[in-house]
Structure 1
């Protein structure tokens, strides 16, 4: 990922926070047949390996789970993003030499993808994923709420993924390269937006 120094995010705990805040990632693998990509909810184990390890699963019918991977796999995670109009810049009123841009947060995680069909490991993954996304509900659903034979049959329809993270690229593009006056204008403009993502980006801009 192209990342100018002003936008580079390298703090491991912050990168992990971005990964965990993303509801959905995209898993990309290179194969002899070309690139394969799948939108996936992934679970991060922060303590497994020096950079953490990602877990998830794909449908058994998804060729990405059975096609040999060339090189490292990549999982991408997006944080809040927003269009930035140059109309918010103080510098527009000063000289007019401004153009639109986009503010966003992104993390790319790279590592060797391991696909597996072991039932116990699959059950552990779907249980942990479910518990994470059901947390906070008044009556959280649990995998054990479903009949055991039904769960067993469902597990036969998926392939597990384990991706130990070998490298992380992090980017937080939040108008850091603009003047304080321009950043203040962008933050104010986004904060007034009806779009929730815009307001989240406004909170990230250093003013």
Structure 2
């Protein structure tokens, strides 16, 4: 019954009813940035779509599925210890793994690892603090591990169905984050919302993340394998 109630709430008046809108606003922001840069510069780069385009596209999709979980967690602000640790671990791991995977696919393992760890640890700590220091530690550890593992996975698969692996990794991550949304709803469905954000922060964070990803992917340092 709880899952059916959760599905209904996706069109309801609680924060869960804003999750789909958050995905939409994030995608619009990222696609506008990508579209403008493609028209002004990237379309003149030979083989842009095969070397960078797919990874930038999935980066935009990834940020769009990560931000709804952050919005949902922020709305309730405080969680019990076990739930908060799961929040920090899940967001830290996915937010580290996916950017690390995409950037390592174009620039190499070092820059992919550093970027993945930075994003994963930052978002993991930010959301893990909802239950105190244990959630912060969980978010920090998961972001650290996820960034390294994402970059390493991409580098190992570089000559072995990298694009197909990217689709599989993204799909599994989407299921995990959707499960986190359901878990948060189940834990907090009888609690009052404490913070009500507008969608400006969604636009700002999406813009920052996709801009950093584009800048590093197109102009950042590359390992010797990528010339």
Aligning the two structures, in what range does the TM-score lie when normalised by the shorter sequence? under 0.3
Hey, which of these two has a bigger chunk of helix by percent?
2
TM-score by length of 1: 0.22
Q: Specify the structure having the higher radius of gyration (Cα).
A: 1
